[in-house]
Amino acid sequence: MVRLLNNRSTIAAKSIKALAPLLDRVLVQRIKAETKTAGGIFLPESAVKELNEAKVLAVGPGAFDRDGKRIAPSVQPGDKVLIPQFGGSPIKVGEDEYSLFRDHE
């Protein structure tokens, strides 16, 4: 079941593993910035910015080209990727937030 609330997706699922992206979609989770420096100093939340780095959790089988041949995705689950600051489809499962992008994004 998917419900759209305020242009954000809320998924009623027990875990993110229950979701399988279709075609050339890639499910990612942003990597959280460190809140502690190498010297052991804790940084306030206002000083920590959201990173554009994410971990790939699931990948669709790929899109089709004009001839009907499947184009394999360029990333695999477990890869670390750079994602745009804005864009993608936000998905919330429980308290965790994920994003769904197309492979070419």
Task: Identify the domain containing residue 83 by its residue range.
Answer: 2-13+23-102
pLDDT for residue 72 is more than 50: yes
Instruction: Report yes or no on 88 lying in a domain.
Output: yes
Report the predicted TM-score, pTM, of the whole model to 2 decimal places. Answer: 0.69
pLDDT for residue 15 is more than 80: no
Give me the CATH number covering residue 82.
2.30.33.40
Burial of 73 (0-12, 13-18, 19+ CB in 10 A): buried
Partners of 2 in beta bridges: 11
Overall number of domains in the chain: 1
pLDDT at 18: 67
**DSSP three-state, residue 47:** helix
Instruction: Report yes or no on 38 lying in a domain.
Output: yes
